[in-house]
């Protein structure tokens, strides 16, 4: 159109060219042009809005651009396009990121079959995959080691499954990806099967065929009954005492009324010498974090700008347990206790590292919207790097022990009790018994 505007006004073709070009400009773009516009828009906007995370998460965006270009050439229809956009979002390595408001129906791969959760759930420690939950009908015990899946070394299966999942889903850290694969990766469509080679805690080995069907709800799980007494529940959270007499609070969720839940728990627990806050597998939620923190400071005392409050705040020694499935608001809350030096944080690994502020970005075609993280929560954590892509790193890493699992002992609870016997850890945090060191 710039040529038309500079063409001599007496050009004999001018009156004919203008309507023809305007008609071409108003015609709908070809599908491949629509798909290319969406992908290029996302590539540019993601780099602009999320580029500050690339170094932390180990993302080479030039490689992503090359990959997207080659994949775009394979797109034949809207469904292919939607899946490519989803895979592009997964390249952000963001546990919260996904497509929303999709105007296309995803293909149904179920063939009418329900999805069944795994009858074997594992935890990965180094190159070992230990059973943490299992259907008793399979003849395995907690603490057994899975050696092979369908004849392949379990390490190869874990690597291949992690690559498949990360191609289509975002995970903010590698540890969170591996934890989710170990816990859920053996699930599948009802009626499908796999072979699991194993070694029991007594050294005996074998192989079992696992049919993905009903029955997974009966899985045996590590219950730590040798260490814990009976627990009372409120929603997904619970509390009680350990056999050694310490308080035990299990937080699987961060509901809006968590401060009030803690008031109820702490009043019921009464006087205890120490407290364990178990936040493993806490999926997040949302509440006033400082109001929670205030429940663990003596009434009327200050730690920083937070004043102790609540019906019966607990000012004594506190150990917080986390793992790779502690995510979002769960890790901001757990991290606050460690970052602000109120509690010793332990666990088999760091947390998921998916805690952020998110935005929505509509594709130019209107076919979908990308939802993704643009800024890390708790920017002061981790020496000013925040939590997104990093997570909460425990003061002490405490792996599960296979022999303890087999004996019904939770390795992290065991270590928490050992720390509470000491009651003060000046080499780790600025908390000394019931007195804060200023």
Per-residue CA distances from 198 to 123, 144, 148 (Å)? 14, 7, 7
pLDDT at position 184, please?
Answer: 95
Distance CA 21, CA 338 (A): 65
Has domain 232-355+391-436 been given CATH number 3.90.226.10? yes
Distance CA 392, CA 350 (A): 5
Distance CA 280, CA 400 (A): 13
Lowest mean pLDDT across 100-104, 111-115, 216-220, 388-392: 216-220
Confirm if 244 and 276 have CB atoms less than 8 A apart: no
User: If you average pLDDT over residues 131-156, what whole number do you get?
Assistant: 94
pLDDT tens across 323-349, in order? 999 999 999 999 999 999 999 999 999
Confirm if 346 and 307 have CB atoms less than 8 A apart: no
Helix intervals (H) in 51-138 = 54-57, 61-72, 78-90
pTM, 2 dp: 0.89
Domain-by-domain residue ranges, the chain?
28-92+358-377, 115-217, 232-355+391-436
**Three-state secondary structure call for residue 225:** coil
Examine domains 115-217 and 232-355+391-436 and report if their fold is the same: no
Distance CA 273, CA 314 (A): 10
**Does residue 243 surpass a pLDDT of 90?**
yes
pLDDT at position 187, please?
Answer: 95
Identify the architecture of domain 115-217 in CATH: Roll (2.30)
pLDDT tens across 191-227, in order? 999 999 999 999 999 999 999 987 655 688 888 889 9
């Amino acid at each position: 159109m710039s040529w038309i505007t500079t063409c001599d006004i007496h050009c004999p073709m001018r009156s004919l060219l203008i309507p023809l070009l305007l008609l071409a400009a108003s015609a709908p773009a070809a599908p491949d042009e629509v798909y290319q516009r969406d992908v290029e828009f996302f590539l540019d906007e993601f780099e602009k809005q999320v580029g500050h995370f690339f170094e932390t998460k180990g993302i080479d965006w030039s490689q992503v651009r090359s990959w997207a270009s080659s994949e775009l050439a394979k797109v034949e229809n809207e469904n292919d396009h939607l899946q490519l956009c989803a895979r592009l979002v997964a390249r952000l390595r963001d546990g919260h990121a996904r497509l929303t408001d999709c105007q296309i129906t995803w293909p149904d791969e179920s063939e009418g079959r329900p999805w069944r959760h795994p009858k074997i759930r594992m935890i990965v420690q180094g190159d070992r995959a230990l059973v943490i939950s299992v259907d008793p009908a399979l003849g395995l015990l907690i603490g057994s080691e899975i050696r092979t899946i369908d004849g392949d070394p379990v390490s190869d299966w874990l690597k291949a499954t992690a690559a498949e999942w990360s191609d289509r889903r975002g995970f903010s850290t590698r540890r969170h990806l591996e934890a989710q694969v170990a816990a859920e990766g053996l699930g599948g469509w009802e009626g499908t099967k796999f072979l699991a080679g194993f070694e029991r805690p007594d050294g005996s080995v074998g192989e079992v065929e696992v049919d993905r069907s009903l029955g997974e709800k009966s899985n045996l799980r590590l219950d730590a009954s040798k260490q814990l007494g009976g627990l009372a529940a409120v929603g997904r959270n619970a509390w009680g005492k350990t056999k050694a007499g310490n308080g035990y609070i299990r937080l699987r969720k961060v509901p809006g009324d968590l401060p009030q839940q803690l008031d109820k728990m702490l009043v019921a627990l009464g006087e205890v010498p120490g407290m364990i806050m178990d936040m493993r597998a806490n999926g997040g939620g949302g509440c006033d974090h400082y109001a929670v923190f205030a429940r663990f400071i003596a009434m009327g005392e200050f730690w920083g700008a937070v004043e102790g409050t609540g019906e019966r705040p607990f000012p004594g020694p506190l150990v917080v347990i986390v793992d790779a499935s502690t995510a979002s608001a769960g890790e901001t809350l757990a991290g606050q206790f460690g970052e602000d030096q109120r509690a010793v944080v332990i666990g088999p690994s760091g947390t998921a590292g998916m805690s952020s502020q998110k935005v929505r970005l509509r594709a130019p075609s209107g076919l979908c919207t990308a939802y993704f993280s643009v800024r890390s929560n708790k920017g002061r954590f981790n020496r000013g790097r925040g939590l997104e892509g990093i997570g909460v790193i425990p003061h002490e890493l405490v792996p599960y022990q296979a022999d303890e699992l087999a004996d019904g002992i939770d390795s992290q609870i065991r270590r928490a009790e050992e720390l509470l016997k000491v009651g003060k850890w000046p080499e780790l945090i600025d908390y000394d018994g019931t007195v804060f060191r200023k």
